[in-house]
Chains A and B, each alone.
Chain A
Amino acid sequence: MWIAALLAVTFLGACVTFLAPDRYAGKVATAISAVPAVGSLYMYWVYLTQYETTGNALLGGDAAFAQTVEWFEIAGFSVQYSVGLDGVSMPLLTLTAVLTTLALISSWTPIDDRQSQFYGLMLLMETSLIGVFAALDFLLWFVFWEGVLIPMYFLIGVWGGPRRKYAAIKFFVYTNVASLIMFVGFFALLFGLGDSISSLGLAEITAALTGGELSALAGIEPATLKVLAFVAMFFGFAVKVPVFPLHTWLPDAHVEAPTPVSVMLAGVLLKMGTYALLRFNFTMLGDVARGELVAWMPYAIAAIGVLSVIYGAMLALAQRDLKRIVAYSSISSMGYVILGLVAFTPHGMGGATFQMISHGLISGLMFMAVGVIYNTTHTRMVGDMSGLADRMPWTVGIFVSAAFGYMGLPLMSGFAAEYLVFVGSFGAPTLGTAAPLFTAAAMFGIVIVAGYLLWAMQRSIFGPFRLETDYDVGPAPLHDVAPLAVLLLLVIALGVAPDLSYRMIQHAVNPILEVGGGV
């Protein structure tokens, strides 16, 4: 009932917010979103104390807070409202709930137009995001997955920057076409499984796939079918992540989106892609990902990951706009996740999942900090400002800390995540002798990250004060800085004690490594 309650509160809250007068919409929405935020933190604590060792929900694990209700039957498949959490989805769900509340608070300053619609859509998006991470039935999951697109499309298109229309359409078309390709790939598998499954429950499908129940479909052999479906699904999710070379929608969307939307986009939406990759490609079709059917598959995936790391970082290096820098750096960070996943080692996969959470917090923090700077200075160009540290010390202090987190400074969550990924990928059995090479190349990304972040901070934050706009620069209001502080605390907490998440992640991720293939 817990998850249903979260979904209900956010959805009904969205309806209430739509009807609320503009003046109060921000406060109303924030108050409403505090309920799932606190609720999910409580669930997190309950999970830590009671469910930690329940394993992977798709691989026979006993999902926490699970609830299954028969929904209806369609052409012989039963569709269920089936939700539950394991060590992978629990932290992501908490991240979503907490980040939404903070993003809503950070919207109070910049959003001054059609507020009730803005806040309503944000809550609607939260509903879908919670659903994505909690759903354990394919169709239910897909409903939420596509459901995220619609509020996002409006949030970028209506409240975005000057090129918002272009960015919104591009985002919508890219991710929707990707979803359809993924959908086709997944359905090829379902029909290949035929009568061996009776519902679209993810656990049942996983069991059938790993148990070798797949049969030929339309003259395509099971092994080929698996590979084709894997590629279609990988493509679909990779656009969402996004990885090089499918990333071009992301900078546009990020730069045009209003700050709180960027926070959600970088903090949670990108994780939908990696979460789905982990659940579908690496759990259900682990044998393809490990290269048991096609030998070059893990190398190709690792190459995509490493290329994303390097290429994203290089692009970030070339930017002059603070927000663009942060946007491109996300591509880079998501590359680590891909590399960690394909390593198929406990630390690799666990580190990758930990990186999803860590990046959610840090990138959210960075975007928020850039947003606060922009609200005050009305520019984001590195060349237009200098010496902000004197005028807005708190904001800048947090921004610098976040940047160090991004660079992987110890005692911050970024360090733990990247360290785990590298340890995991260094000895990756799937990559054989090339594993150290891939790892070394990816590690080089950190150097570039440090390069562009230090460069940007040096120019914009330190030195004598100078600003090429007409705005008076002073300390930001408390409600702008407070969410930053909360996020920074979380980043440090996870950096000092990674076990707060890492242990539960490991219990959920390790079963994946033990699954054999099966065709």
Chain B
Amino acid sequence: MVQLPTWAALGPSLVLGLTALVLFVVDSIDPDSENVGLLAGIAGLGTFTAAGTSVWYLISGTGLPTEQGGRGVVDLFAGQLIVDQMALFVGFIVASVAFLVVLASYDYLEGLAYQAEFYSLVMLAATGMTLLGASNSLATAFISLELASLPSFALVAFLKHNKGSVEAGLKYFLVGALSSGIMAYGISLVYAATGSLQFGAVAEALGDAPASVLGVGIMMLIGGVAYKTSSVPFHYWAPEAYEGAPAPISAFLSSASKAAAFVLGFRVFVTAFPIGTVAGTIDWVLVFQVLAVATMTLGNFAAATQERVKRMLAYSSIGHAGYVLIGLAALTSGADHSSVLGAGMAHLLVYGFMNTGAFLFIALAEYWDVGRTFEDYNGLGSEAPLACAAMTVFLFSLAGLPIGGGFWSKFYLLMATVNSGTWILGAALIVNSALSLFYYSRVVKAMWIEDPVDGGFDIDHYPVGLYTAIVSAAVITFGLLFGFGGVSAVAESAAGLLV
């Protein structure tokens, strides 16, 4: 049997990065090529391989300590990057979301220029996101974050003749630059206080660190993570960016990028600033509790008042960020930490599929020029029953009804809150879930129950790529109702390595 070199553990990131380069090469050989199939094919193959590699590593035990029957956690470049099950888990989420997005973009981008650039930017952003999950030092975390962000700014503004898209890109860029600055400053303060950037070393040096400098540094890091995960109060950019961006990119950002940022948050706060040590300086668990309740409540209330479907989904994705924050907010001393973190990660995975699917359905509607408001979706069910059935699965699963994995992942989060004694979080989760059903079902009602406004739709083309992506996401979302056991087991064991 061939022993792979240790750097091969970065397989998912490497494959994604290489795919971006291959796309550049193909594009530079024949820049005017109209061969969309080739570009999408390369990107699809790359993301599929990356997702497959993650699953293969996860199954074969890479990133799991040898005493637990694995092949060991891989420590690369003097501890700058680390490949454990968590890194592979986020690698899988990012790569599979990217795969769906690429599949859907094949139709969505029809007739647009710069397609090769589009795909390579997606690949580069995905590379950054997977590296974000593997970062074990504040330096690599920052670089990965920028690698994920910069292509995203361009992607949001990709529809350059569309005012909304350009404006969204600009807003996203400005807020992003500001928050990068804040985060960089926070990192420098942490470095000043502890003399180290590597998570493990930071944790060791905490004892002698001056509390004030360290406290401000940690607060700024929280701000950086909150921005990237679109948590209150750093969420303002999200609805604008998601609404203005091409819908597949909204899907990509709201699912994959968020997942990567959350996993970074999990790793930074659990390994570098163990709550037991820093509680005297700054009780970040409490901070995240406030953030979680505020984020889920504000996101849901704002979503309930929207008139446009894409914007509603954008706000609801803020609400879901609040749910995932439970993964950090419930890390109280009495809790079973691996189960709490695992619940957050499991929700990220399920969310990755159902939310991507929902945004891709919006992409389909945009492709058909259906319109943006709830009313515009009236009667769509009789025109495109398959896609609408899939959308119904996504929305009800997002609401937490037992029609998809969303039911279990929310239930798991609920267990986590109860298990840690943070009743208020659990109550907020339940109330918000009940509220969310109201606005999600508005879309369902429009699609199936209402009659089309003025005479119906003018739909004569059913794009294969988009359909395939939507239906696969729906099948996976539904399948996770039965297969959630596997996800939660992996998530919990991955989380167990951190705590």
In this complex, the member of B396, B423, B441 whose beta carbon has the largest number of chain A beta carbons within 10 angstroms is B441
The reply to whether A191 and B401 contact each other, CB–CB distance below 8 Å, is no
The reply to whether A158 and B418 contact each other, CB–CB distance below 8 Å, is no
User: Which B residues from 414 to 443 make CB contacts under 8 A with A?
Assistant: 414-416, 418-419, 421, 423, 430, 433-434, 437-438, 441
- Chain B, residues 302-344, CB within 8 Å of chain A (1/0): the string is 0000000000000000000000000000000000100100010
CB distance from B493 to the nearest CB of A (A): 12
The reply to whether B402 and A76 contact each other, CB–CB distance below 8 Å, is no
CB distance from B191 to the nearest CB of A (A): 37
**The stretch of B20-28, B86-94, B482-490 that contacts the partner chain:** B482-490
Q: Measured between alpha carbons, how far is A392 from B338 in the docked complex, in Å? A: 69
In this complex, the member of B412, B423, B430, B433 whose beta carbon has the largest number of chain A beta carbons within 10 angstroms is B430
CB distance from B301 to the nearest CB of A (A): 17
**The stretch of A142-150, A266-274, A301-309, A453-461 that contacts the partner chain:** A142-150
CB distance from B126 to the nearest CB of A (A): 29
Q: Measured between alpha carbons, how far is A82 from B120 in the docked complex, in Å? A: 49
The reply to whether B336 and A76 contact each other, CB–CB distance below 8 Å, is yes
The reply to whether A143 and B445 contact each other, CB–CB distance below 8 Å, is no
User: Which A residues from 195 to 235 make CB contacts under 8 A with B?
Assistant: 218
User: Which B residues from 361 to 405 make CB contacts under 8 A with A?
Assistant: 382, 385, 396, 401-403
B481 at the interface (CB under 8 A from A): yes
**The stretch of A164-172, A352-360, A494-502, A507-515 that contacts the partner chain:** A164-172
Pick from A75, A77, A165: contact of B416, CB below 8 A: A75
A419 at the interface (CB under 8 A from B): no
User: Which A residues from 49 to 86 make CB contacts under 8 A with B?
Assistant: 71-77, 79
A374 at the interface (CB under 8 A from B): no
CB distance from A297 to the nearest CB of B (A): 26
In this complex, the member of B385, B408, B449, B450 whose beta carbon has the largest number of chain A beta carbons within 10 angstroms is B449
The reply to whether B419 and A75 contact each other, CB–CB distance below 8 Å, is yes
The reply to whether B481 and A74 contact each other, CB–CB distance below 8 Å, is no
Q: Measured between alpha carbons, how far is A157 from B442 in the docked complex, in Å? A: 12
Given A150-B396, A168-B449, A73:B485 Cβ within 8 A = yes
* Chain B residues with CB under 8 A of A176: 434, 437
Given A146-B402, A157-B445, A157-B448, A75:B430 Cβ within 8 A = no
Q: Measured between alpha carbons, how far is A334 from B148 in the docked complex, in Å? A: 60
* Chain A residues with CB under 8 A of B457: none
Given A117-B385, A176-B437, A76:B449 Cβ within 8 A = no
Pick from B336, B382, B433, B448: contact of A75, CB below 8 A: B336
Pick from A76, A150, A164: contact of B339, CB below 8 A: A76
B48 at the interface (CB under 8 A from A): no
The reply to whether A71 and B485 contact each other, CB–CB distance below 8 Å, is yes
A187 at the interface (CB under 8 A from B): yes
CB distance from B131 to the nearest CB of A (A): 30
Given A154-B448, A165-B450, A169-B445, A75:B412 Cβ within 8 A = yes
Interface size of B by CB at 8 A reads 36
* Chain B residues with CB under 8 A of A143: 402, 407, 481
User: Which A residues from 164 to 187 make CB contacts under 8 A with B?
Assistant: 164-165, 168-169, 172-173, 176-177, 180, 183-184, 187
Q: Measured between alpha carbons, how far is A71 from B438 in the docked complex, in Å? A: 31
Pick from A71, A146, A149, A164: contact of B449, CB below 8 A: A164
The reply to whether A72 and B403 contact each other, CB–CB distance below 8 Å, is no
The reply to whether B430 and A184 contact each other, CB–CB distance below 8 Å, is yes
CB distance from B414 to the nearest CB of A (A): 8
The reply to whether B402 and A75 contact each other, CB–CB distance below 8 Å, is no
* Chain A residues with CB under 8 A of B408: 74
A114 at the interface (CB under 8 A from B): yes
- Chain B, residues 445-467, CB within 8 Å of chain A (1/0): the string is 10011100000000000000000
The size class of the interface chain A forms with chain B is 35 or more
* Chain B residues with CB under 8 A of A173: 437-438
B411 at the interface (CB under 8 A from A): yes
The reply to whether A147 and B343 contact each other, CB–CB distance below 8 Å, is no
The reply to whether A72 and B445 contact each other, CB–CB distance below 8 Å, is no
The reply to whether B385 and A157 contact each other, CB–CB distance below 8 Å, is no
The reply to whether A157 and B396 contact each other, CB–CB distance below 8 Å, is no
* Chain A residues with CB under 8 A of B343: 75
- Chain A, residues 226-267, CB within 8 Å of chain B (1/0): the string is 000000000000000000000000000000000000000000
Q: Measured between alpha carbons, how far is A286 from B297 in the docked complex, in Å? A: 38
Interface of B is mostly: helix
Q: Measured between alpha carbons, how far is A101 from B448 in the docked complex, in Å? A: 25
The reply to whether A147 and B403 contact each other, CB–CB distance below 8 Å, is yes
* Chain A residues with CB under 8 A of B403: 147, 150
Q: Measured between alpha carbons, how far is A76 from B382 in the docked complex, in Å? A: 44
* Chain B residues with CB under 8 A of A117: 385
Q: Measured between alpha carbons, how far is A157 from B445 in the docked complex, in Å? A: 8
* Chain A residues with CB under 8 A of B411: 74, 139
Q: Measured between alpha carbons, how far is A219 from B478 in the docked complex, in Å? A: 39
CB distance from B326 to the nearest CB of A (A): 12
* Chain A residues with CB under 8 A of B438: 173
CB distance from B115 to the nearest CB of A (A): 35
CB distance from B406 to the nearest CB of A (A): 12
The reply to whether A75 and B415 contact each other, CB–CB distance below 8 Å, is yes
CB distance from B238 to the nearest CB of A (A): 27
Given A114-B382, A176-B437, A165:B449 Cβ within 8 A = yes
* Chain B residues with CB under 8 A of A153: 441
In this complex, the member of A72, A73, A180 whose beta carbon has the largest number of chain B beta carbons within 10 angstroms is A72
* Chain B residues with CB under 8 A of A149: 401
The reply to whether B412 and A146 contact each other, CB–CB distance below 8 Å, is no
* Chain A residues with CB under 8 A of B486: 72
The reply to whether A218 and B407 contact each other, CB–CB distance below 8 Å, is no
Q: Measured between alpha carbons, how far is A72 from B484 in the docked complex, in Å? A: 8
* Chain A residues with CB under 8 A of B401: 146, 149-150
Q: Measured between alpha carbons, how far is A173 from B442 in the docked complex, in Å? A: 12
Given A143-B407, A154-B448, A165-B450, A77:B415 Cβ within 8 A = yes
Pick from B382, B407, B423, B430: contact of A180, CB below 8 A: B430
Q: Measured between alpha carbons, how far is A187 from B418 in the docked complex, in Å? A: 10
Q: Measured between alpha carbons, how far is A114 from B389 in the docked complex, in Å? A: 14
Which partner residue on chain B sits nearest A154 by CB separation? B448
User: Which A residues from 108 to 160 make CB contacts under 8 A with B?
Assistant: 114, 117, 139, 142-143, 146-147, 149-150, 153-154, 157-158
CB distance from A122 to the nearest CB of B (A): 15
The reply to whether A74 and B434 contact each other, CB–CB distance below 8 Å, is no
Which partner residue on chain B sits nearest A142 by CB separation? B402
* Chain B residues with CB under 8 A of A218: 421, 423
CB distance from B195 to the nearest CB of A (A): 39
* Chain B residues with CB under 8 A of A77: 415
The reply to whether A165 and B445 contact each other, CB–CB distance below 8 Å, is yes
* Chain B residues with CB under 8 A of A191: 418
Which partner residue on chain B sits nearest A149 by CB separation? B401
The reply to whether B449 and A147 contact each other, CB–CB distance below 8 Å, is no
CB distance from A223 to the nearest CB of B (A): 20
In this complex, the member of A75, A114, A146, A168 whose beta carbon has the largest number of chain B beta carbons within 10 angstroms is A75
The reply to whether B450 and A172 contact each other, CB–CB distance below 8 Å, is no
* Chain B residues with CB under 8 A of A165: 445, 449-450
* Chain B residues with CB under 8 A of A142: 402
CB distance from A403 to the nearest CB of B (A): 34
User: Which B residues from 261 to 319 make CB contacts under 8 A with A?
Assistant: none
Q: Measured between alpha carbons, how far is A117 from B421 in the docked complex, in Å? A: 45
* Chain A residues with CB under 8 A of B448: 154, 157-158
CB distance from A111 to the nearest CB of B (A): 15
Q: Measured between alpha carbons, how far is A139 from B414 in the docked complex, in Å? A: 13
CB distance from A56 to the nearest CB of B (A): 26
A-B contact pairs, 8 of them (CB 8 A): A72-B485, A74-B484, A77-B415, A117-B385, A157-B445, A169-B445, A187-B418, A218-B421
Besides the known contacts A75-B412, A75-B419, A114-B382, 14 further A-B residue pairs in the complex with CB atoms under 8 A apart? A71-B485, A72-B484, A72-B486, A74-B412, A77-B415, A79-B485, A143-B407, A146-B402, A153-B441, A180-B430, A180-B433, A180-B434, A187-B418, A218-B421
A-B interface, 7 closest residue pairs, ranked by CB to CB distance from nearest? A72-B485, A75-B415, A157-B449, A143-B402, A75-B339, A146-B402, A180-B434
